[in-house]
Amino acid sequence: LAKTTQPISMDSYEGQEVNITCSHNNIATNDYITWYQQFPSQGPRFIIQGYKTKVTNEVASLFIPADRKSSTLSLPRVSLSDTAVYYCLVGGSASGGSYIPTFGRGTSLIVHP
């Protein structure tokens, strides 16, 4: 199973760009990389997903180097409402080929005024 490693916490200020990096050294060939955002007492919310290079949507960008052993979630111009825990999730395949989602500890982002 692909294990992920992220910084436990990050601090930023309103208006700044925030980059959160996730390491996934044993990512499998068919695995995608997905990022989720979670607020307290709520379920995670899908942010972005990618396989390689760069993906951009209306809320974030995802950068994935050629070796795919890491990925970086980029949040442009964060606001106070972006304070949350961010998880990267890599598709994991057990020996039987079944997808077993494994959440790491996530990164707690605190945005200051």
Contacts with another protein by CB under 8 A lie at 30-32, 34, 36, 41-46, 49, 87, 91, 93, 97-106
- Provide the pairing of β-strand 9-13 with 107-112: parallel
Tell me which residue has tokens 């974030």. Answer: 60
Kindly state the smallest distance separating residue 61's Cβ from another protein, in Å. 16
Kindly state the smallest distance separating residue 7's Cβ from another protein, in Å. 14
Nearer to another protein by C-beta: 33 or 75? 33
Alpha helices in the chain (DSSP H): none
Rounded Cα–Cα distance for residues 5 and 77 (Å): 24
Kindly state the smallest distance separating residue 110's Cβ from another protein, in Å. 14
